[in-house]
Amino acid sequence: MSYTKKEILETIRMTELEHFDVRTVTMGINLLDCGHEDPVEVGRRVSEKLTRLASKLPSTVEEIAERIGIRVANKRLAITPVALISTRPTPDAYVTIARAVDRAAEEMGFDFVGGYSALVHAGMTKADEALISSIPETLSSTERLCSSVNAGSSRTGLNMDAILKVVHAIKETAYRTRDRGSIGCAKFVVFANAVEDNPFMAGAFHGTGLEECVVHVGVSGPGVVCQAIKRAGTCDLRELSSVVKSTSFKLMRVGELVGRDVAEKLDVPFGVVDLSLAPTPELGDSVGEVLEAMGLQRTGACGTTAALALLTDAMKKGGVMGASQVGGLSGAFIPVSEDANMITAVREGALSLEKMEAMTSVCSVGLDMVAVPGDTPESTLAGFIADELAIGVINHKTTAVRVIPAYGAGVGDTVSFGGLLGEAPVMELKNLSCEKFVGRGGRIPPPITSLKN
Q: Which helix (H) or strand (E) holds 146?
A: strand 145-153
pTM given for the model: 0.92
Q: What CATH number has the domain spanning 26-192?
A: 3.20.70.20
Look at residue 400 in the predicted model and tell me its pLDDT: 94
CB 301 within 8 A of CB 285: no
Pairing outcome for strands 188-192 and 145-153: parallel
What is the DSSP track for 239-292?
Answer: HHHHHHHHHHHHHHHHHHHHHHHHHHHHT--EEEEEEEE---SSTT--HHHHHH
Look at residue 363 in the predicted model and tell me its pLDDT: 87
Give dist(CA 204, CA 27) in Å, integer: 10
Whether cis (ω within 30° of 0) applies to the bond prior to 202 is yes
The ranges of the chain with pLDDT < 50 are 3, 5, 8-9, 12-13, 15-18
Look at residue 11 in the predicted model and tell me its pLDDT: 53
Give dist(CA 392, CA 34) in Å, integer: 33
Q: Which helix (H) or strand (E) holds 23?
A: strand 22-29
Give dist(CA 280, CA 202) in Å, integer: 15
**What's at 359, amino acid-wise?**
M
3-state SS, residue 350: coil
Look at residue 10 in the predicted model and tell me its pLDDT: 55
Look at residue 45 in the predicted model and tell me its pLDDT: 96
